[in-house]
Structure 1
Amino acid sequence: MTTDQLEPMPDDWQRALAIVAHPDDLEYGCASAIATWTDAGREVAYVIATRGEAGIDTLEPATCGPVREREERASAAVVGVSSVEFLDHQDGVIEYGVALRKDIAAAIRRHRPELVITLNPDDTWGGTYWNTPDHRAVGRAVLDAAGDAGNRWIFPDTDAEPWNGVRWVAVAGTDSPTHAVDVTDGLERGVRSLMEHRAYIEALTDESPETYVRDLIEGFARQTAERFGGRPAVTFRLFTK
């Protein structure tokens, strides 16, 4: 394992927008950083491409979607996020393309963030597990739409005016991080945030939900500490716009 030290994330910003495919995508490791940022007085909003309606095998989509939406809003509130939007793309079959880029560019124009956050768009997790089509499509579209949002000639018919103020896109869950956030103070709320996805977690594992969540979130943060001055951290690959 590489021990190259990670750089601290920039902190000279006020507004961030996190855009991911599913309810729970942000809670699997990123929410502790968001709690740390909102504690510092920064504004963070969420945009979720689907309602996660295909995510629980024992629940039909029409029942599952509202459950997962409620869980996502509750998990966001734990880390100080009150603005949660759903784009209503169909879970499991999101297609990368112009329509997705437009929806995301429109969201960026509405929220006018300096920092945009998304999830790993690479083919794999760690070179071992194949990434899902939704993660790949949304992550790639976010990186593209961050530029689209500032070009008045691309998607000129969105409700909001062009926004060229995105300074960085931060990708969580990547195998090649460059930066990190000290989550010493936000770690417990990161755990509690993922715990709000109880219906999803109980369908996913026979393990105690609290044990599963705590081991996962605290484990990732501790693992990163050796690359960040011994401090528990959440990592990102940072792209400068």
Structure 2
Amino acid sequence: MIDTAGQTPPQLEEMPSDWQRALAVVAHPDDLEYGCAAAVAGWTDAGKEVVYVLASRGEAGIDGLEPAVCAPLREREQRDSAAVVGVRTVEFLDHRDGVIEYGLGLRRDIAAAIRRHRPELVLTLNHRDTWGPEPGGAWNTPDHLAVGRATLDAAADAGNRWIFPELTEQGLAPWNGVRWVAVAGSNLPTHAVDAGPGLERATRSLLAHRTYIEALTDEDPDAYCRDFVAMSTGRASERFGGRPAVAFEVFPR
């Protein structure tokens, strides 16, 4: 693979592994399954704890379903999906799907989750304007931009006792133990995880969002999920020794 400047991109580094707890924060049900479920499966197999926090319940994601009907359905599919890759705890912050706003309220909610779960690694999804290399990449959604950016900021907020002091009053002591924030789906990946051991479960985890997928495409859901996971984990393989990979842009702290 050659970049736009005609240079071969450097090989991706192995993701740090000297951690025990991770917190994944994204906007919608299915974001993690499209983004990094194969990595999560490998981590939980290794005895690591991963918790999912979703800003919304994805209630605006299916055109043919009213939000009041859609929200509990998508929540149930997300919990089933998480269980496939060994994630037992899934929380929802109840921001409105489609109109999530970057701001103090979102930062506070994510900082509270970080203080509750005390992770060393925080995961989120692409916070940049586009998917894929610019120019010409597909435009990202406002929800992804808001949640990704707020997660990067909240990793610092969580450790500062003078930011959101009300959280301390609620019994959530500051947590300054986040060592990395890793962004899946980034245009500028730096690290990767071998997706091979978790590939089959990543496919089943995405397939657990069957109602959403059936509304999204006319393809057979099983074939759609298998093809997508193979494509997404194959994209970074040239930069990771030919292995299927989940790539991340890692920000150390």
TM-score by length of 2: 0.94
Structure 2: gaps spanning 5 or more residues: 3-8
* 1:155 and 2:164 are equivalent in the alignment: yes
> Which letter maps to 1:17?
L
* 1:106 and 2:118 are equivalent in the alignment: no
* 1:24 and 2:30 are equivalent in the alignment: yes
Give per-residue Cα distances to partners, 1:82-122, cap 9 Å, x unaligned.
Answer: 00000000000011000110000000000000000000010
**2:100 aligns to what?**
94
Aligned residues: 241
> Which stretches of structure 1, 4 residues or more, deviate above 3 A after TM superposition?
none
- Residue in structure 2 matching 1:143, options 146, 152, 172: 152
User: Matches of 2:235 and 2:56 in 1, distance apart?
Assistant: 30
> Which letter maps to 1:181?
V
**2:234 aligns to what?**
222
Identity between Structure 1 and Structure 2 (%)? 71
**2:5 aligns to what?**
none
* 1:75 and 2:81 are equivalent in the alignment: yes
Contact 1:170–1:238 under 8 Å retained in 2: yes
Contact 1:225–1:233 under 8 Å retained in 2: yes
Give per-residue Cα distances to partners, 1:122-169, cap 9 Å, x unaligned.
Answer: 011113211000000000000000000000000111131000000000
- Residue in structure 2 matching 1:209, options 217, 221, 233: 221
* 1:185 and 2:197 are equivalent in the alignment: yes
TM-score by length of 1: 0.99
Shift of 1:4: 2.0
Give per-residue Cα distances to partners, 1:163-192, cap 9 Å, x unaligned.
Answer: 000000000001110000001110110000
RMSD: 0.8
User: Matches of 2:140 and 2:24 in 1, distance apart?
Assistant: 19
User: Matches of 1:232 and 1:33 in 2, distance apart?
Assistant: 11
User: Matches of 1:150 and 1:129 in 2, distance apart?
Assistant: 35
Contact 2:98–2:142 under 8 Å retained in 1: yes
Deviating more after overlay: 164-173 vs 225-234:
225-234
Contact 1:29–1:190 under 8 Å retained in 2: no
